[in-house]
Amino acid sequence: MNPTNAPSVQPSPANATQPLLATLDALLEPMAQLCVGKGVPIQAVEEHLRQAFVKAARQACEGANPQRRNSRISALTGLTRREVSRIEALAAPVRRTTHGPLTELFNRWMSTPPYGGPDGARELPRQGPEPSFDTLASAVTRDVHPRSLLEALCRMGMAEHDTEKDTVRLGASGFVPRQQWEQMLGFLGANVGDHLRAAVVNVLGAGNEHFEQALYADELSTHSLQQARRIVSDQWRALLAQVTPQLEALMQADAAAGRPQDQALRLGLYALTQPMPPAAAAPSHTIPPSKES
pLDDT in tens, 149-174: 888 888 777 788 988 899 998 876 55
- Whether the predicted pLDDT of 256 surpasses 80: yes
In total, the chain counts a number of residues equal to: 293
- Whether the predicted pLDDT of 223 surpasses 80: yes
- Whether the predicted pLDDT of 228 surpasses 90: yes
* Residues 82-103: tens digit of each pLDDT: 999 999 888 665 555 445 677 7
Query: Is the model's pTM score more than 0.75?
Result: no
Instruction: Round to whole Å and give the CA distance between 25 and 114.
Output: 46
| Long-range contacts from 224-230, C-beta under 8 angstroms, 24+ separation | 225/273, 228/271, 228/273, 229/271, 229/273
The reported pLDDT for the residue numbered 122 is 87
- Whether the predicted pLDDT of 215 surpasses 70: yes
Which range has highest mean pLDDT (14-23, 234-243, 250-259)?
250-259
Which of 25-34, 174-183, 283-292 has the least mean pLDDT? 283-292
- Whether the predicted pLDDT of 13 surpasses 70: no
Instruction: Round to whole Å and give the CA distance between 233 and 43.
Output: 39
- Mean pLDDT for the chain overall: 82
- Whether the predicted pLDDT of 218 surpasses 60: yes
Eight-state DSSP code of residue 167: E
The reported pLDDT for the residue numbered 290 is 42
**What residue spans define the domains of the chain?**
101-170
- Whether the predicted pLDDT of 32 surpasses 50: yes
* Residues 235-250: tens digit of each pLDDT: 988 888 889 889 989 9
Instruction: Round to whole Å and give the CA distance between 103 and 15.
Output: 44
